[in-house]
Amino acid sequence: MSAFLAQRPVLLAAPYPPAECERRLAAATGRRLSWTDTELPLQGQVSPDQIRVARRAPAMAVWFSGRIERAPGDRTVVAGTVGPAPAARVVFAVISWAWLVIFGVMFLAGLSSLRSGHPELWLLLFPVGFAAVWVLFRAAGPPLVRYEIRELLGALNPILDSTAAFPGR
């Protein structure tokens, strides 16, 4: 599976007690996930046990999932992961296999038309177009996910007055 679809561990260190962090996150988070813009910067759910928020609602959106933990000095650490929704891996795998099958069938049909003496140009060009779109997706996917992670953390950090750290980096 592609590494750009992986969840990355992240820690948000906030200067407030856990209850204040939960209150701030809840105040900035809408409950209804939709394509429409809301006035709130985040969409998702905030509870004492779990935080699951995104900047927008599409299935391929980048999500932060985590929990609020008390840190020394009445401070808070919000520990979790950030990355595309777990469903994104399934969607990516299904699309990959579908494209591979379609590419293979069209390529074989193109070769067959060449051998028959009646070449069909579109049967040869169609797989090339599929391959070009796939390469574009593979090239654009990782930078897009990195951008979405930066934007989501950029929305979370001002709400919590926090700084984000990626453990193990």
Residues 7 and 71 in one domain: yes
Beta bridge partners of 76: 14, 70
Residues 9 and 72 in one domain: yes
Q: Is residue 110 part of a domain?
A: yes
Q: To the nearest whole percent, how much of the chain has pLDDT over 70?
A: 89
Residues 76 and 92 in one domain: no
Residues 45 and 15 in one domain: yes
Residues 80 and 152 in one domain: yes
Residues 105 and 78 in one domain: no
Q: Which domain, by its residues, includes 73?
A: 3-85+148-165
Instruction: Give the lowest-confidence range in 5-19, 33-47, 87-101, 137-151.
Output: 33-47
Residues 123 and 152 in one domain: no
Residues 18 and 38 in one domain: yes
pLDDT: is 61 or 59 the higher one?
Answer: 61
Residues 159 and 124 in one domain: no
Please name the residues in contact with 41: beta carbons below 8 A apart, sequence gap of 6 or more.
Answer: 28, 55, 155, 159
Please name the residues in contact with 52: beta carbons below 8 A apart, sequence gap of 6 or more.
Answer: 44, 45, 63, 64, 65
Q: Each residue of 94-138: pLDDT tens digit?
A: 877 887 888 888 878 878 877 887 777 777 677 777 778 878 877
pLDDT at 60: 57
Residues 79 and 126 in one domain: no
Residues 80 and 58 in one domain: yes
- Does residue 25 register a pLDDT over 80? yes
Output the pTM of the full model: 0.77
Q: Is residue 143 part of a domain?
A: no
What is the tally of structural domains in the chain? 2
Q: What single-letter DSSP state applies at residue 117?
A: T
81 contacts 66 by C-beta, under 8 angstroms: yes
pLDDT: is 54 or 93 the higher one?
Answer: 54
Q: Is residue 40 part of a domain?
A: yes
- Does residue 52 register a pLDDT over 70? yes
Residues 46 and 7 in one domain: yes
Cα–Cα distance for residue pair 113/134, rounded to 1 Å: 24
